[in-house]
């Protein structure tokens, strides 16, 4: 049915906006976003996958070598038509067509990166180079998850992003600290996020970090202990809050 034109205060007529074509709302105009999450079987990565999978337009691909990650963290998505799990080490090139890359792959627990420091720094440096190469080839946006460890043992509190840090380049943590600093240098013209001390479900109880240590000691009825000198500060970040922020 035709609609009559309405007159405005100046005597001119205004027409109602045209009804959008139904084609605009068809599947052809709702293209899926293909997203790669490296390290997606890990503690933080799996929470990110949960959030990304909430959007029915997203297709999520997880690449993980399971050095520290676990398939159990992704069991709710295995077999889902919009989800794919690839066993892959990011120190090797990966060829896949994607629109976005979340690069989380790296041992983040002191127990793991002290056990294999060479693998840790290779994952940070070579893995980041490979993901940058992939992003360049396919025109994808990429986000690196870095760490508060880039500040080392800071001499100022709290730390601003302008603070350069106080890192021991030959200490037992240097494979992780310096690896992430190099990764940030490589990513400087892209986008990165420094993750502080994240906690929540799926956290490995024996990964050697302060929250899991406290929980394990409390379960065993032991006194809660901290490393000397006992004056350390930490900024804690709940996993669900992290994934909400990183996907917006």
Which member of 113, 151, 176, 237 is catalytic?
176
**CA angle, 241 as apex, 238 and 244 as ends, to 5°?**
150
User: Which CB contacts under 8 angstroms, 24+ apart, belong to 91-96?
Assistant: 91/122, 91/123, 91/126, 91/127, 91/130, 92/130, 93/130, 93/133, 93/134, 94/36, 94/63, 94/130, 94/131, 94/134, 95/134, 96/36, 96/61, 96/134, 96/138
Grouping H, G, I as helix, E, B as strand and the rest as coil, residue 232 is: coil
In the annotation, is 163 catalytic? no
Q: Extract the tokens encoding 197.
A: 């001390």
| Residues annotated as catalytic (active site), given as ranges | 176
């Amino acid at each position: 049915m035709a609609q009559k034109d309405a007159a405005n205060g100046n005597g001119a007529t205004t027409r109602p906006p045209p009804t959008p074509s139904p084609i605009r709302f068809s599947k052809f105009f709702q293209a899926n976003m293909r997203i790669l999450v490296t390290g997606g079987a890990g503690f933080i990565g799996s929470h990110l996958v949960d959030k990304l999978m909430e959007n029915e337009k997203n297709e999520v691909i997880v690449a993980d070598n399971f050095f520290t990650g676990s398939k159990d963290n992704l069991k709710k998505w295995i077999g889902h038509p919009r989800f794919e799990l690839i066993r892959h080490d990011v120190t090797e090139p990966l060829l896949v067509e994607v629109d976005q890359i979340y690069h989380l792959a790296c041992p983040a627990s002191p127990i793991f990166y002290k056990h294999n420091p060479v693998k840790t720094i290779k994952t940070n440096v070579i893995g980041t180079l490979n993901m940058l190469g992939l992003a360049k080839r396919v025109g994808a946006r990429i986000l690196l998850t870095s760490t508060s460890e880039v500040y080392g043992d800071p001499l100022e509190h709290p730390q601003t992003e302008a603070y350069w840090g106080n890192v021991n380049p030959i200490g037992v943590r240097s494979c992780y600290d310096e690896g992430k600093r190099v990764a940030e240098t490589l990513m400087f013209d892209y986008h990165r996020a420094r993750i502080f001390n994240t906690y929540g479900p799926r956290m490995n109880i024996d990964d050697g970090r302060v929250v899991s240590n406290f929980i394990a000691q409390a379960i065993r009825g032991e006194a809660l202990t901290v490393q000397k000198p006992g004056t350390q500060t930490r900024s804690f970040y709940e996993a669900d809050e992290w994934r909400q922020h990183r996907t917006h």
